[in-house]
Amino acid sequence: MYKIVRKKVLNPVVKLMEVSAPDVANVCQPGQFIMIRVNETGERFPLTVADFDREKGTVTIVFQEVGKSTRLLGTLNEGDYILDFTGPLGRPTHIEKYGTVCVVGGGCGTAIAYPVARAFKEAGNYVITINGARTMDLLIYRKEMQEISDEFYETTDDGSCGVHGFVTTVLGDLIQKGRKIDLVFAVGPAIMMKFVAKTTEPSGIKTIVSLNSIMVDGTGMCGACRVTVGGQMKFACVDGPEFDGHQVDFNELMGRLNAYREQEQVALELWEKEHGGGK
């Protein structure tokens, strides 16, 4: 049992929880993930580490409420317990001094992009961040991202804040203007990562993406998260979750992410019915 010591609502659909898990907090690194099971009937799902505090023994997770499991997690409050919290899993982000690093976060992915951007900054890189969302209400970590960035951009699909457009609008502009970027790191919805990789591909800028595949165990045991990278079968849980974005078969990834769409809908509707349809 893992106690929630702090909960913060970041926007109508995204919540932050700081969870007491001293053994995990002691060793986890940016880029790694945790497998979570909320209660006895719950499913196991991965959430990437958003932050950690070794002294307090806590790990922070940030999640968007999209299906039943994340909704259920969202109902828990400070002082409540998460049944299972297993980690840290996957390989940590490789941090080094590249020169100029552009960190792209989309939607809830910004929470994961943040500690990575911070680590790149601490390693002596010039850090450009691009924080994107559908609309202004859904932008998270605005202040935090800005504070650790040398250059900071925001984009919204509807133009309610920052640049009207997608993260790739800004990224494409920077590249077109001839800005020298040594590495792009992108985390967010699969479709966003796909287009970030497409945007950087012609100029050959190394692009790392953090995949959010479906997983059951998270330790290489089931193969649910397998993905084709450079023509080879990889498991996101043990070989990743970060891969070279130019090598990832995103169409296959998106197909596999949709595998349980029908069942997810059934579970969600049932849950909403049982919980008075309320959010």
Residue 227 has φ and ψ, to the nearest 5°, of: -150, 145
C-beta closer to other proteins: residue 183 or 227: 227
CA torsion, ordered 119, 194, 37, 95, to nearest 10 deg? -20
Residue choice 220, 230, 244, 275 for contact with other proteins (CB under 8 A): 220
Q: Per-residue x/- marks for other proteins, 187-216, CB under 8 A?
A: -----------------------------x
Q: DSSP letters of 158-176?
A: TSSSSEES-HHHHHHHHHH
CA atoms of 187 and 66, how far apart (whole Å) = 17
What part of residues 52-81 is at the interface with other proteins (CB under 8 A)?
68-69
C-beta closer to other proteins: residue 58 or 86: 86
Pairing of strands 151-156, 126-133: parallel
C-beta closer to other proteins: residue 87 or 162: 87
CB 248 within 8 A of CB 227: yes
Residue choice 6, 135, 255, 275 for contact with other proteins (CB under 8 A): 255
When asked if residue 44 is in the footprint of other proteins (CB under 8 A), the reply is yes
When asked if residue 230 is in the footprint of other proteins (CB under 8 A), the reply is no
| Residues found near other proteins in the complex (CB under 8 A) | 23-24, 27, 37, 41-44, 68-69, 83-89, 216-217, 219-224, 226-228, 233, 238, 249, 252, 255-256, 258-260, 263-264, 266-267, 270
